[in-house]
Structure 1
Amino acid sequence: MKFVTAAALAFALAGCAAAQSKEPRPASEVAPADQSYFTPSEVRSSASVTVGGTAIPYQAVAGTLVVHPKGWTDTLPNERKRDKDAGGDVPASEASMFYTAYFRDGAPAESRPITFLFNGGPGSPTLWLHMGAFGPMRVETPDLVHGSAPYRTVPNAYSLLDASDLVFVDAPGTGFSRVAGKDKEKAWYGVDQDIHAFTVFVRDFLSKYGRWKSPKYIFGESYGTMRAAGMTLALQRQDIDLNGVILLSDILNWDLLPDDPQVNPGVDLPYVVALPTYAATAWYHKRAGAGRELQPFLREVEAFATTDYAVALMKGNSLPDAERQAIAARLHAYTGLPLAYLLKTNLRIEYGALQKELLADKGLTTGTLDTRFTGITLDPLSKVASNDPQGAAIGAAYTAAFNDYARGTLGYGAGQHYEGALDVYESWDYRHQPPGAGRALIALPNVLPDLAVAMKQNPKMKLLVTGGYFDVSTPYFAGWFELQHLPVPKELQANIAYQYYPAGHMIYVNVPLLAEMHRDVGDFIRRTDGIE
């Protein structure tokens, strides 16, 4: 499933005061004689943002840290591929990971929370959370329609700097991050490789900026939630405990994805957990649930999905015709799709088909990341949607805003291209080695075991799970469902809080909902930072 990249699905996403005092330190991406490909870089500036009526002066640092593949040690020259202590081949590669950090002036480092934020993809940089949600500047985009240049960037009155210092991190190869070496794809483009890169980044960042004592948080969106859950355990193995984890539009178990489930007969859960989002979409477009409030309507659909509908799907070809007709009638009532169409699909609805068929009579396709968006159908004869109207509507605005902000305000990026979308989804290494397995598994990745072990080893760590009702790329009910199957004892289940919004994948594109999410995440950090 192509989660948010700027090109495909756009992933997954108070005033900035005057004078920026620059202290540039040059970066190099040319391999010197010692066989290193990169050197760290750093550009500093100062500004202020007003949140909740309070001016927050801060230092901004735009820069890079150099990370190495798993098995590398700082005594191992780059040209040597085998580290006998690692027990295997170490790819001859490096990554230079770009970040923008914001440190509140005057806040003591040891008691000031610090949050590492990242988007997903695979293949997306973190301009979405940076310029849409919690950075000190925010790009304005119109709600539910396609905008156009010139794009306005405004002070972000909902920056999370009131609760935490912030570090926005671009994945290797995305944004201003770079990878080099003949083994670069093997080294960085995979589930476990990606978890390793971000874990090492966090560890080295804590050392560079003296933040080992700080309350620590990670915030992942979309594929970034898989990364975040895997990092909880990987960080513990570096002796780094987290205070909290925030998951936005989570997908931790890929067996639940509503992505081409028709090629995997017998696996029906994706249809079950996606149905409430289909119903929310039909409700919004007035194709179902007439006169109903959204929340009670969704509770009813969730109950149907996990009982009668799930049982009917489990019966497969043995489902009697009368039951098939009855289930199809209820699906029609909840989704607005024609009865004949539902029977033809054998009661199983792909998310792309829902997008394409719901408003087919109007020649429109709904969004993927936010099904409230609509756009002209590109191919009226196609089986499923071939575009995401929301991605098309806001992608250019975010890319333009960050390029202008980075170069003009942060003073970073001269002579460099900002890679907004890395095409690695199809070639990504999806093998993952969960705790307890002796090898990486040939299966769809599932990081629930990692998260469960991390919670058991650190019972103080808390989770905040958030999502939007109108997101078919990572359906909200799938996110809830997977965490109901997290293998932890009952007392640790109480460490998980849930918050859902009448929004799509990127809740923050709607300003009133951004205000709500800012409040919810800020409160979560304040409740869990361990500061009396």
Structure 2
Amino acid sequence: MPFKAAAFLITASLAAAAFAQPPAPRPAEPPKAAEPDRPIPPPIVSITRHVGTFAGVRVPYVATASETYLRSEDGTPKAAIFSVSYVKEPRDPSRPVVFLYNGGPGSGSVWLQMGAFGPKRVAIPSDARDDGAPPYPILDNPDSLLDVADIVFIDPVGTGFSHPLGKTEGKEYWGVTADAKSVSQFIRLWLNDNGRWNSPKFIGGESYGTTRSAALVNQLEGAYNDVSLNGIILMSTILDFSADIFAQGNEMPYIMYLPTMAATAWYHHKVANPPATVEEFVAEAKDFATGEYAVALLKGQRLQGEERARVRAKLARYTGLSEAYLERADLRVTDNRFYKELLRDRGQTVGRLDSRYLGKDYDQAGDRPDNDPSFYGIDGGYTAAINAYLRDDLGFRSDRSYQTIAGLGSWDWELKDQGGDATYYKNVAPYIGKAMRENAGLKVFVGAGYYDFATPLLGAEYSLSRTGFPTDRIQFHYYHAGHMMYVRDEDRAKLARDVRAFIRSR
């Protein structure tokens, strides 16, 4: 008898016996004594002093790696926020301060700290090769912003070393609004503790960190007891989620992703008679995507004959895919299919976070890659570096694991203060528009990588160019890498120069 059949019969007979006679009464168990509440230890704080040279300027600074307790109204500690602050000595309240965080929403600030703006950085290959095995060099970072601003890297609850305390559950902080409220509370506490309420202030994030920035500016400036900002730094931007979700019937992602597909096809030499630069090709693709291609998608099945053939031929040029494949896909190619199809003839896939990276799957038959080579190509180096640097150089002692990318469970996406329509339409960009209309000194920096499929560059332009935005105070900058543009050495230096100029221009 096959094993599964035998197991089924045994299970069935046991179930029948159980239903045939009432279960024997179980003896009463004595009530369990209530476990005493474990005392919450004081926050961990480590303070060290250093000197570095940033953009040619010698800067003595204090590094404070510490936990800050968020408390309820009765003073009960509810969560520990881990942060690393770098403050120039002697302290100068007139200096700008920049609050930075990453995305996820379960990501720690390791990527911006050890990759872009911290005083130290991890050295991984700049040319989209895998980071390999340790040891990974941890180097001085002359591209840090410490010559123009003090910097505070923040790990929201559940990321990095941050965690709920006592009986508090992490899910209290896991949502667009709840997360922004907790980061706002931390920033206010930091300003209190450091005497910086009248300093120029900037907030900045990457990926979901840009979503957080939009929700955070609403928490900081959306009430009378506001924290007024000088600037918002958005890197690899995602604000309007309707433009990012490949769902049947939603045509917007096909438009938003096309310029990124064009950049990737150009980079991997899949374009016949390509222009000299990726900038030229992306500009062409943007015009096609927002013009002729958008009209074609809106026509749906009414797109036929010569018009369809013309659109298909242009789409083949900008995607690097064959017309036969595009026709089978009904002129609509999802991101996952593109990663797999573009270089199928070479037996390779391209990355999601950075499509310069190449992967090799178990086989070539699927319609999506096995994994993202642009993430597994960098994660080992960053994880090793943040743990070594925080624990050894900055002296932060904790038996907790640093969560570079944490699985936070269900995330609350409700935007209740935007009205009933926000139940179905998730767009935090209006928070930024409102803040800019009500704060004449607020400016926005937007950085985008040509090879970023996680947050395609046209999505940021689309989100921030609609009604309600003072576009003369929004500046866009583009880089020849992907989602984490700073992994490419030239782009890390350019990003630092661009952000430094943005801070100075206040």
Look up the match of 2:326. Answer: 342
CA separation of 1:427 and 1:378: change in aligned 2, threshold 3 A = farther
Other-structure match for 2:64? 61
Deviations 1:223-273 (A, max 9, x none): 00010011112101241000101100001111111x4x1x331x2111101
Compute the displacement of 1:107 (Å).
4.0
Report if the CA contact (8 A) 1:289-1:297 is conserved: no
Q: Does 1:315 align with 2:267?
A: no
Q: Report the AA paired with residue 116 of structure 1.
A: F
What letter corresponds to residue 126 of structure 1 in structure 2?
S
Contact kept? 1:431, 1:440, Cα under 8 Å = no
Distance 2:39 2:416 in 1: 29
Verify the 8 A CA contact 1:191 1:431 in the aligned structure 2: yes
Aligned pair partner of 2:239 in 252, 257, 276: 252
- The residue type equivalent to 2:267 in the other structure is Y
Report the Cα distance in structure 2 between the residues aligned to 1:312 and 1:181, rounded to whole angstroms.
56
After TM superposition, give the deviation of residue 323 of structure 1 in Å: 2.4
Q: Which has the larger Rg?
A: 2
CA distance in 1, matches of 2:490, 2:475: 21
What's 1:224 paired with?
A: 209
Structure 1: gaps (5+ residues):
1-31, 79-92
Residue by residue over 1:375-420, the C-alpha shift from the partner in whole angstroms, topping out at 9 and shown as x without a partner, is: 1124523222231101011101000001000110000033221122
2:174 equivalent among 176, 185, 189: 189
* 8 A contact 2:38–2:166 mirrored in 1: no
Cα shift at 1:184: 1.9
**Identity across aligned pairs (percent)?**
39
Which amino acid in structure 1 is aligned with residue 101 of structure 2? F
Match of 2:406 among 404, 411, 422: 422
User: What is the CA-CA distance between 1:364 and the residue it aligns to?
Assistant: 0.8
Number of aligned residue pairs: 467
- CA distance in 1: counterparts of 2:226 and 2:266, whole angstroms: 48
* Aligned residue number for residue 119 of structure 1: 102
- Taking the aligned partners of 1:42 and 1:486, their CA distance within structure 2 comes to 45
Q: Equivalent of 2:372, from 388, 392, 397? A: 388
Over the residues paired in the alignment, what is the CA RMSD in angstroms?
A: 1.9
Counterpart for residue 476 of structure 2: 498
1:146 to 123, 130, 135: 130
Q: Determine helix, strand or coil for the equivalent of 1:160.
A: coil
3-state SS of 2:146 partner:
helix
8 Å contact 1:116–1:168 — kept in the other structure? yes
SS for the counterpart of 2:171 is helix
Name the aligned partner's letter for residue 176 of structure 1: F
- Quickly say closer, same or farther: Cα 1:309–1:291, change in 2 above 3 A: closer
When structure 1 is superposed on structure 2, of 508-517 and 410-419 the one drifting more is 410-419
Which shows bigger deviation, 176-185 or 354-363?
176-185
Structure 2: how far apart are the matches of 1:268 and 1:38? 52
State the one-letter code of the partner of 1:62: A
Query: Is 197-206 or 371-380 further displaced after alignment?
Result: 371-380
What one-letter code is carried by the residue in structure 2 that aligns with 1:397?
G
Residues 1:150 and 1:503: Cα distance change in structure 2 (over 3 Å) = same
Q: Is the 8 A contact 1:431 1:444 kept in 2?
A: no
Say if 2:163 and 2:170, in contact at 8 Å, map to a contact too.
Answer: no
- Give the deviation of 1:94 after TM superposition: 2.1
Q: Does 2:163 align with 1:178? A: yes
Per the TM alignment, residue 38 of structure 1 is displaced from its structure 2 partner at its CA by 5.9
| Contact 2:274 2:281 (8 Å CA) reproduced | no
**Equivalent position SS for 2:483:** coil
Higher helix residue share: 2
Name 1:512's counterpart in structure 2: 490
In structure 2, relative to structure 1, the CA distance for the partners of 1:229 and 1:453 (3 Å cut) is same
Measured against aligned partners, the alpha-carbon deviations of 1:82-113 in whole angstroms (never above 9, x if no partner) come to: xxxxxxxxxxx82211000000012412x010
| DSSP 3-state at the match of 1:418 | coil
Unpaired runs of at least 5, structure 2? 1-34
CA shift digits 1:37-62 (9 cap, x unpaired): 56433210000111133211100000
Which residue of 448, 455, 461 corresponds with 1:467? 448
- Give matches, 1:190-209, under 5 Å: 190-209=175-194
The alignment partner of 2:505 has SS state of helix
Any conservation in 2 of the 1:58–1:105 contact (CA below 8 Å)? yes
TM-superposed deviation, 1:440: 8.9
Q: What CA deviation, in whole Å up to 9, does each residue of 1:482-521 have, x standing for no partner?
A: 1111523xxx221111111111111111112111111110
